[in-house]
Structure 1
């Protein structure tokens, strides 16, 4: 695979200035409230494969996003990071192969054809996908190599799952997705009226899309709850994660989850150990005043990438340090649901109609961003599934 490009993620370019004290008035949270951690900075790296973790498909391209429709169709997304990709969004077939979705045209953008193809009508650098109702929603930050965005590229694309055609592409304007923005993850309100997005770029923040009007706006932009915490260091493989120059990466607001009733939005900076939430009603007004006072601290966690809240309101987190997926219990403790050495950088978590959970292993710590010699390890990038209610040792 290609070696690391000289330009690095905007996440890495975040200047870690002292962060104001993260103290917010809190009320009782649905998931947990300021509960204790399940460990004191200990690392419990999974060393043994768990038979409950089933490979669904393995890809030649680095995979990040996964989602499952109400009818069980599986979709994945491939970021255009350290190398160009042949497919940005795909449907996983029963034999594990992939089919460009919704078609090859939308997936035809390439770096060497950027002047020939309109960024507004092609996937440029997709980060995540989420199926909701009868639609697949595709989040395209349009920042190849996770560098500056391509003009007219940042967008949220709605695809009809019945006709398999694009229903609408919502372009995110420059005043919402600036030149160093990186739209990261997305959730759709149960009533279908709003979409909520994390921005991991600079500055960190949340983005709200009013689906009916197509208008979008920022919230909590460059606010402490959406910024990387300079006191936190990401750990993988039992070691601190560092760039080749010795600097540690700083990821702003990343993982996102929505309560089943759509009343609360949860998020966390990847370089952070604090899970936050806010009432979604507060976000439905552009540039609301006093919004930081409405942010609630839910729990102390650990650096995680993906968040998922299931139909019962249980919140799942991907543990980078432990190669695991954990659940946040009502008392604030994190319980390991499944851990496996194959879960190298568990990224996105999704739920199927039967309650099966799916998780991608994006192997970010193995990438050229952290190794001058290029990709580390053997094999491709895998999408896994597991039953969260299955007992250890069961198959």
Structure 2
């Protein structure tokens, strides 16, 4: 090849490379609300945790502190922890409150059975605590992470909860000073509990509605139908979140294929009858059998896809798509929360291998994971 031809060839190669780089740049800068699949290497493992820290749900504060509930299905007494770095953690908020209460003599500090945990963006971590044989009411407990002191306790007695209550997950609405709780209640009695965070008054709504009870579909993971007790698990309303503008509550049954939504203004309107409120429920889109969800400002709903060992997203058009799939790294992804850094944080806890869901046998093997990935659109910080 002579010099003129060589120069021409190099120019053609340079143009081709520039064109490819431009196209890649266009692809990576996906507009908000579009659920383009990010490269798989964007799923990061940020913590690997030992036995005794089988994480449940997760909360990330505005100052980037990460807190998790610890799932009671594994039988240990830890109830809540703070993640310090990739392998270190501490009981949170302290040994009295971060563990199960002492029974003899009874100790009213401590968490009976806590899964739901939320950051409110104002320095408080909220714990949703279930009743126990020695403590018959549910509780919402707020801990001030800046002053390191108890901020508030709201009690949830009968008939706000039922005899078979299981207070699973919840959302905190700081704009309207309210909380919206998903109570799975054995499935047939599944309902929402709406709590006024100022007065502590609460209401039970949509109990046994088509939007809160489970669908008759199996949870099948790695070829096995998951049972709870002697029957295939049927779990009602569980995944729940609120949008960054505090306008919409998104929710669905774990055993369910639909995401629904309700306006916060309708949920808080006590003049609406149950029938009128039911008529205002909107089907937002498709979802898989799922445990946790969270939402960004563009209406993308991020979802833990437990049967596919995956995390996906439902976009504003109602279409569901898997973002990340990994049989080891995402073995029962559980809770999700958006942090102030533009990442979705998630827990992975192998819950289908815990004794209550595995014929009494614990087959889970540490580590239990905290993962994160970038959001597709911005969100508010510290929720």
TM-score (norm: length of structure 1): 0.78
Query: What's 1:75 paired with?
Result: 67
Matched, 1:105 2:96: yes
- If asked which structure has higher relative contact order (CA below 8 Å, sep 6+), I would say 1
Which structure shows the bigger proportion of residues in strand conformation? 2
* SS of structure 2 residue aligned to 1:224: coil
Distance 1:59 1:351, change over 3 A: farther
Query: Number of residues paired by the alignment?
Result: 333
Matched, 1:376 2:367: no
* SS of structure 2 residue aligned to 1:291: helix
> Matches of 1:306 and 1:58 in 2, distance apart?
20
> Matches of 1:296 and 1:368 in 2, distance apart?
36
> Matches of 1:162 and 1:192 in 2, distance apart?
23
Alpha-carbon deviations, 1:29-78, whole Å to 9, x = none? xx99xxxxxxxxxxxxxxxx857332423131321111110110000111
> Matches of 1:354 and 1:125 in 2, distance apart?
30
Whether the 8 Å contact between 1:234 and 1:303 is mirrored in structure 2 is: yes
Whether the 8 Å contact between 2:248 and 2:261 is mirrored in structure 1 is: yes
Which structure shows the bigger proportion of residues in helix conformation? 2
> Matches of 1:256 and 1:319 in 2, distance apart?
14
Query: What's 1:221 paired with?
Result: 207
Query: What's 1:330 paired with?
Result: 316
Matched, 1:258 2:242: yes
Whether the 8 Å contact between 1:64 and 1:79 is mirrored in structure 2 is: yes
> Matches of 2:363 and 2:64 in 1, distance apart?
33
> Matches of 1:319 and 1:300 in 2, distance apart?
12
Distance 1:105 1:244, change over 3 A: closer
Whether the 8 Å contact between 1:181 and 1:201 is mirrored in structure 2 is: yes
* SS of structure 1 residue aligned to 2:279: helix
Q: Which runs of 4+ in 1 moved over 4 A?
A: none
Structure 1 unaligned regions, length at least 5: 1-30, 33-48, 144-148, 391-395
Deviation at 1:244, TM superposition (A): 7.4
Whether the 8 Å contact between 1:217 and 1:287 is mirrored in structure 2 is: no
Query: What's 2:79 paired with?
Result: 88
> Matches of 2:367 and 2:156 in 1, distance apart?
33
Query: What's 1:39 paired with?
Result: none
Matched, 1:276 2:245: no
* SS of structure 2 residue aligned to 1:226: coil
Query: What's 1:127 paired with?
Result: 115
Distance 1:63 1:313, change over 3 A: same
Whether the 8 Å contact between 2:286 and 2:320 is mirrored in structure 1 is: no
> Matches of 2:120 and 2:131 in 1, distance apart?
22
User: Could you tell me which of 287, 302, 306 is aligned with 2:292?
Assistant: 306
> Matches of 1:179 and 1:68 in 2, distance apart?
32
> Matches of 1:117 and 1:105 in 2, distance apart?
12
Query: What's 1:212 paired with?
Result: 198
User: Could you tell me which of 263, 269, 279 is aligned with 1:293?
Assistant: 279
Deviation at 1:193, TM superposition (A): 0.8
Deviation at 1:380, TM superposition (A): 3.3
> Matches of 2:343 and 2:163 in 1, distance apart?
38
Distance 1:255 1:373, change over 3 A: closer
Matched, 1:117 2:106: yes
Return the index of the structure with the highest Cα Rg: 2
Matched, 1:157 2:141: yes
Deviation at 1:300, TM superposition (A): 2.8
Matched, 1:236 2:221: yes
Structure 2 unaligned regions, length at least 5: 1-32, 35-39, 378-383
* SS of structure 2 residue aligned to 1:127: strand
> Matches of 1:187 and 1:376 in 2, distance apart?
31
Query: What's 2:342 paired with?
Result: 355
> Matches of 1:345 and 1:302 in 2, distance apart?
13
* SS of structure 2 residue aligned to 1:64: strand
Q: Which moved more, 1:362-371 or 1:177-186?
A: 362-371
TM-score (norm: length of structure 2): 0.81
